[in-house]
Amino acid sequence: MLSFLYTGLMNAPRTARERARAELTKEILTSARRQLGDVGAPGLSLRSVARDLGMASSAVYRYFASRDELLTALLVESYGEIGDAAIAGDLPDAAPEERWLSVWRAVRAWCLANRHEYALLFGTPVPGYAAPHLTTEIAARMPLTLARIVADAKRSVGLRPYTGPVCDPAAIEPAMLDLLADGDFTVEETARLILAWNRLVAVIGYELHGHLKNVTADDALFFEYTARAEGANLGLAFD
Amino acid sequence: MLSFLYTGLMNAPRTARERARAELTKEILTSARRQLGDVGAPGLSLRSVARDLGMASSAVYRYFASRDELLTALLVESYGEIGDAAIAGDLPDAAPEERWLSVWRAVRAWCLANRHEYALLFGTPVPGYAAPHLTTEIAARMPLTLARIVADAKRSVGLRPYTGPVCDPAAIEPAMLDLLADGDFTVEETARLILAWNRLVAVIGYELHGHLKNVTADDALFFEYTARAEGANLGLAFD
DNA sequence: ACAGAAACGAGAGCACTGCTCTTGCGTTGC
DNA sequence: GCAACGCAAGAGCAGTGCTCTCGTTTCTGT
């Protein structure tokens, strides 16, 4: 499972064969990625990838054991990209509120430009599921970018006091608190961070899947409101 | 498109042939629904439905023009069910807060028991999209149940004043305000209703798709917190 | 340097899919 | 009664994921 990451991509190729293998692996991924963007995950066909590269369909199985494994590779790649987009959207020297909005916008922009990749990441899981241990680290980069901003805000200007119901500590996984340990978050802050990350993904999903048709008139404007509301909910200084 | 709704199901069958047609249509739907629950939408095969009913695969096309149309029928059916579940979960005589929690729990219970149907409703849209005009009315029943509770609370005990950023009226579709007209909602209330409905669906989706693995320790408890927090955000009296 | 081992690409083939077209039977309505 | 229509079945097309075999190429250990 996921052997391609180790054999072809991560280790530096030494022999000519390994070199060719790494290159072809990359070409397969590139072609698959392009097809994913065109027809989406359900329409992605291993045979058409093979045709695109001028090789026999059976030869592709030397590089990816199944269609699901190929999709998983695209999933990992996409997780990396959305994490990159989030990090690139951050403005480390700006005020927390500006950083927050900028990251939200960056993530939305990536999702709108890569709707099939969004579906792969957050839509209905098509394959038998990706390897959790490998992907969670990459998948965490986007939400951690949000957490970092809140942590910085807490350290510098502080967070506004919370109102409303509080979260039962038993609801949160202790490992999650450890993951955010450097932010020194309370249970309540952690819960609200989870909800903010959930909201970011969800409101984009609604926009992408057409659930906001006849509901919102200006999706960008509504997204802006959502970002502010969710930031304020975490104690950022949005009015 | 969607002709099955008119030919087979809604009009009372008069001749024996129409009677048989209506019955077979229902049997196809039942078998398809069972298969949907087993293997999910991507695995649902028209041929296996035909095998299940002991008929030729080509005969099914007399009743549903395509696999997508069959899926659309299941989509409509599921929208109806989740709406029913929401309405059945409401407690018209209870306090708004109790009603709110009860509906949230009822919707979650339905989704957990019908995860493939959830995927069909809120996951990645597989087919070429359902007919909007027919489905929106059915699809609105669940969110309207939430809206009704808030409207009743506003009329009786009133909603708590809002804090935080406000929503630009230009973001909301005027038709949406009309749809909620009997609730006499402001733009801000409407926006928060949309977000609450979005949250309900989204947090269940996270739970179903495994995104809360290693994040929450007790999904039911976290859901309870989410329901309260989202209700409080709308001005319901959760502490 | 050479032989054995491992990796590789191509092709055929299996079981399956959605969907179409034709054929013939049965029912319906004039 | 008969023409017209509804219907089920079968064959067939193009496509899919995946497996197996069969030569060929490349690498590696002696």
- Cβ contact A164–B232 (<8 Å): yes
Strand C reaches within 7 A of the B46 CB: yes
Q: Whole-number mean pLDDT of chain A?
A: 91
Protein-proximal nucleotides of chain C (any atom < 7 Å from a CB): 7-13, 16-22, 27-29
Distance from CA of A42 to the nearest CA of B (A): 8
Report DSSP state, residue B61.
T
Report DSSP state, residue B123.
S
Q: Rounded CA gap, B48 and A108, in Å?
A: 40
At B185 the three-state DSSP class reads: coil
Can you tell me the mean pLDDT for A60-86?
96
- Is B201 in contact with A202 (CB distance < 8 Å)? yes
At B216 the three-state DSSP class reads: strand
Nearest nucleotide to A70 (CA to C1') is D17
Token output for A93? 């020297």
In this prediction, residue A6 has a pLDDT band, given cuts at 50, 70 and 90, of very low
Distance from CA of B12 to the nearest CA of A (A): 33
pLDDT < 70: residue spans in chain B: 1-13, 126-134
Is the pLDDT at A63 greater than 60? The verdict is: yes
Token output for A39? 């027809």
Is the pLDDT at A1 greater than 60? The verdict is: no
Q: Write the burial class of residue A20 (CB in 10 Å: 0-12 exposed, 13-18 middle, 19+ buried).
A: exposed
- Is B234 in contact with B159 (CB distance < 8 Å)? yes
Q: Identify the sign of the CA torsion A8, A12, A16, A20.
A: positive
Which residues in chain A have their CB less than 8 angstroms from residue B198's CB? Answer: 199, 202-203, 206, 211
Polymer length of chain A = 239
- Cβ contact A209–B122 (<8 Å): yes
Residue nearest to nucleotide D19 (CA to C1'): A58
- Is A4 in contact with A29 (CB distance < 8 Å)? no
At B126 the three-state DSSP class reads: coil
In this prediction, residue A26 has a pLDDT band, given cuts at 50, 70 and 90, of very high
Spanning CA of A133 to C1' of D29, the rounded length in angstroms is 37
Share of chain A above pLDDT 90, in %: 79
Chain A residue with minimum CA distance to B175: A214
Closest Cα to residue A164, out of A234, A237, A236, A100?
Answer: A234
Token output for B2? 């969607």
A26, β-bridge pairs: none
In this prediction, residue B183 carries a pLDDT of 79
Q: Rounded CA gap, A103 and B209, in Å?
A: 24
Token output for B198? 């979005």
What residue ranges define each of the domains in chain B, with the CATH number in brackets? 4-65 (1.10.10), 69-233 (1.10.357.10)
In this prediction, residue A127 has a pLDDT band, given cuts at 50, 70 and 90, of low
Spanning CA of B45 to C1' of C16, the rounded length in angstroms is 10
Distance from CA of A38 to the nearest CA of B (A): 14
What sections of chain B are H helices per DSSP? 4, 16-43, 46-53, 57-60, 67-89, 96-113, 115-122, 132-139, 141-156, 174-179, 187-208, 219-233
Instruction: Please state which of the ranges A21-25, A113-117, B4-8, B49-53 shows the lowest mean pLDDT.
Output: B4-8
Can you tell me the mean pLDDT for A100-114?
98
Q: Rounded CA gap, A214 and B58, in Å?
A: 38
In this prediction, residue A130 has a pLDDT band, given cuts at 50, 70 and 90, of low
Closest Cα to residue A222, out of B147, B230, B191?
Answer: B191
At A172 the three-state DSSP class reads: strand
- Is B123 in contact with A124 (CB distance < 8 Å)? yes
The amino acid present at A93, given as its one-letter code, is D
Token output for B216? 């929450």
Residue of higher predicted confidence among A213 and A45: A45
Is the pLDDT at A124 greater than 90? The verdict is: no
B216, β-bridge pairs: A172
- Is B46 in contact with B70 (CB distance < 8 Å)? yes
Token output for A231? 């930031």
Neighbours of A129 (CB within 10 A): 13
